[in-house]
Homo-oligomer: A and B are copies of this chain.
Amino acid sequence: MEEKMKKNEQKTAHKTEYVSPAVIKRLPRYFRYLRELIREGTMRVSSSELSARMHMTASQIRQDLNCFGGFGQQGYGYNVQYLYTKISELLGVGEGYSAIIVGAGNLGRALIRNSMFEKRGVDVIAAFDVDPQQIGRKLDGVVVRSMDEIADFCQRHTVDIAVLTLPKESTADVVRTLSRAGVRAYWNFTSTDLQDIDPTCIVETVHLGDSLMTLSYRLRSKEDV
């Protein structure tokens, strides 16, 4: 069975194919572990080594990597740098996407200062807020501008991603403005359902509250046992 999979990998190399949503969801995880291997100076890795690190079965790993054109060679393993570059490309890391932070409150400011954008090749080009105390501030080179300028700014610059860290109540209005100005993707930290506002937009929602509740639920369930 595993033998057969390896053969398939060879066969499908250099072929771009359909990548299932389940695999896509795992790609950032591969990206993260591969980056770690690169940092450690590892050049080659076998599916069983990756398996031990990533707590996934070797067979699952081979199947996943096969999905987008396998790069494994039997008895030789994967070329870490090649795999990393390929997955980075697939994830759009080299696209040079630009983002704005909408809402420079505590969370917005924490995100600006986080190295995550840089590491993922996303360029934060501005932040926006309504608070006069924040407007004009510069955080890690990013200027906080008045929310009143946001439509104009998005028309003059290419803005690929809007990071929404503003209060829930203001979200709908701002998203309407951004959509009109051509913004298509939202990284949504408000618990607003954006599909109601712009059904065509691409949204990735981070529900911090939901995540915390899932944790308490699991803690409580364990205590009941």
Write out the residue numbers on chain B whose beta carbons fall within 8 Å of the beta carbon of A107. Answer: 110, 114
Contact B219 A160 (CB under 8 A): yes
Write out the residue numbers on chain B whose beta carbons fall within 8 Å of the beta carbon of A219. Answer: 92, 95, 97, 160-161, 184-185, 202
Secondary structure type dominating chain A contacts: helix
Contact A122 B216 (CB under 8 A): yes
A136 within 8 A of B: no
Binds B, one of A1-9, A148-156, A205-213: A205-213
Contact B92 A220 (CB under 8 A): yes
Write out the residue numbers on chain B whose beta carbons fall within 8 Å of the beta carbon of A111. Answer: 208
A32 to chain B, nearest CB (A): 6
Contact A206 B217 (CB under 8 A): no
Contact B120 A213 (CB under 8 A): yes
| Nearest CB in chain B to that of A222: its residue | B202
Contact A209 B95 (CB under 8 A): no
Contact B213 A93 (CB under 8 A): yes
Binds B, one of A71-79, A174-182, A187-195: A187-195
Per the bound structure, the CA–CA distance linking A35 and B109 in Å amounts to 28
A-B contact pairs, 19 of them (CB 8 A): A24-B214, A28-B211, A29-B207, A29-B210, A32-B210, A90-B217, A91-B213, A92-B220, A93-B213, A105-B110, A106-B110, A120-B213, A160-B219, A185-B218, A187-B215, A202-B215, A202-B218, A204-B214, A204-B218
